[in-house]
Structure 1
Amino acid sequence: MFKGRHFDRSVILLCVRWCLAYNLSLRNLEEMMAEWGISVDHATIHRWVVRYAPELLQRFNLRKRSVTRRWHVDETYIKVRGRWTDLYRAIDSNGDTVEFWFSERRNLTSAKCFLRKALKR
């Protein structure tokens, strides 16, 4: 996965994780790496995120714990970034989230899309 890269894989994974998990700007990450003595450009970090984020997501999903056979679905109306949206959630009997879906419209199409996505898990 990291064959032929100039930087060590731990640096790449750390930058990608921080960028996705903590919503840091690329320039902030560049400064943080410079404090550790690692000279990396923000454009390089962006290329790492674009390249490795989908692959890491796929690998994490393969290792996720499977959900129980019994789960419940609820729907609520919440405000996100100043806009009212519908939140659909599926929760298994252990209380773990199976899937969630935000939709600006409450209609049959969005509900079916959510259920299809949840049933795939």
Structure 2
Amino acid sequence: MKIPAEMPRLKGFRFPREIVAYAVWAYHRFAMSTADVEDLLAERGVIVSREAVRKWVNRFGRHFAHCIKRDRPAAADKWHLDEVVVPINGVKMWLWRAVDARGDVLDILVQPRRNAKAARRFLRRLIARFGQPRVIITDKLRSYIKPVRQLAADAEHRAHKGLNNRIEGSHRPTRKREKLMGRFKSPRQAQRFLSAHDHINTIFKSRRYRLSATSYRHARADAFDLWQSYVLEMTT
């Protein structure tokens, strides 16, 4: 990545912030394990353990996700909501995800239930942050009906599985990472990882199939510049 060679050092860290930020970026941008990132850094002459990479990802992934959420444009007024099962230690958990009409992830929430109470809790989080939408699109799960009616009375609720393909596609990276990580170890780990992973990928996945090569390169350069500014904001 094009990061200046000299940035203020992170207090208490042996490696420069450029290296820490590169490890976090590589881990979240590609389907890589901490061991893969360790080898990637070793090829560049940086000898670091996979445990150190894991700690960097856990500690600073939240920082980058926070910066991205802070600076993102206003969400579109059409939301897609869906839930997918995530087995954790033999227990069936549910990952609730919401994306807007552009496909940008609004929020994710790992919950043990797939009922009206869980739907209400998730929808309340979304409305508290983004305000009420114009349209809410869900599958035919009946648990959405009352929460949408109570919390977003003015929104048009479209319950149709065929209309929710946009969010169905957003589950694929989660499945890929889940397989690579040998499943999530706890609901807290899943929530922490996915909250960072979804938002970091938002700025680096520019829907290339819709852009010309030149436009895509400009979008990628803008994403790198944005990432660089977030690297400068890193604190211990």
TM-score (norm 1): 0.70
User: Is 1:13 aligned to 2:21, yes or no?
Assistant: yes
User: How far apart in 1 are the matches of 2:80 and 2:18?
Assistant: 39
- Provide the aligned C-alpha RMSD in A: 3.1
Identical positions, percent:
19
Q: Which has the higher contact order (CA 8 A, sep 6+)?
A: 2
- SS of equivalent residue, structure 2 residue 100: strand
User: Is 1:109 aligned to 2:147, yes or no?
Assistant: no
Superposition deviation, residue 112 in structure 1: 0.6
* Structure with the largest fraction of strand: 1
Superposition deviation, residue 23 in structure 1: 3.8
Q: Write the deviation string for residues 76-110 of structure 1: whole angstroms up to 9, x where unpaired.
A: x76767x8x68664534x56554455766441111
User: What amino acid sits opposite 2:43 in the alignment?
Assistant: E
Q: Report what 1:24 is aligned to.
A: 32
Deviates more, 1:20-29 or 1:35-44: 20-29
Deviates more, 1:54-63 or 1:17-26: 17-26
| Alpha carbons of structure 1 residues 42 and 116: separation in structure 2 relative to 1, 3 Å | same
| Alpha carbons of structure 1 residues 50 and 72: separation in structure 2 relative to 1, 3 Å | closer
Counterpart pick for 1:91 among 79, 92, 100: 100
User: What amino acid sits opposite 1:112 in the alignment?
Assistant: R
| Alpha carbons of structure 1 residues 37 and 59: separation in structure 2 relative to 1, 3 Å | same
Q: Write the deviation string for residues 17-36 of structure 1: whole angstroms up to 9, x where unpaired.
A: 22233242222211111111
- SS of equivalent residue, structure 1 residue 10: helix
- SS of equivalent residue, structure 1 residue 3: coil
User: Is 1:59 aligned to 2:88, yes or no?
Assistant: no
Superposition deviation, residue 113 in structure 1: 1.5
Q: Are the equivalent residues in 1 in contact too, given 2:95–2:108 (CA < 8 A)?
A: no
Residue segments in structure 2 that go unaligned for 5+ positions in a row: 1-7, 131-236
Q: Are the equivalent residues in 1 in contact too, given 2:86–2:95 (CA < 8 A)?
A: no
| Alpha carbons of structure 1 residues 78 and 50: separation in structure 2 relative to 1, 3 Å | closer
Q: Report what 2:78 is aligned to.
A: 71
User: How far apart in 2 are the matches of 1:107 and 1:23?
Assistant: 32
- SS of equivalent residue, structure 1 residue 6: coil
The count of corresponding residues between Structure 1 and Structure 2 is 117
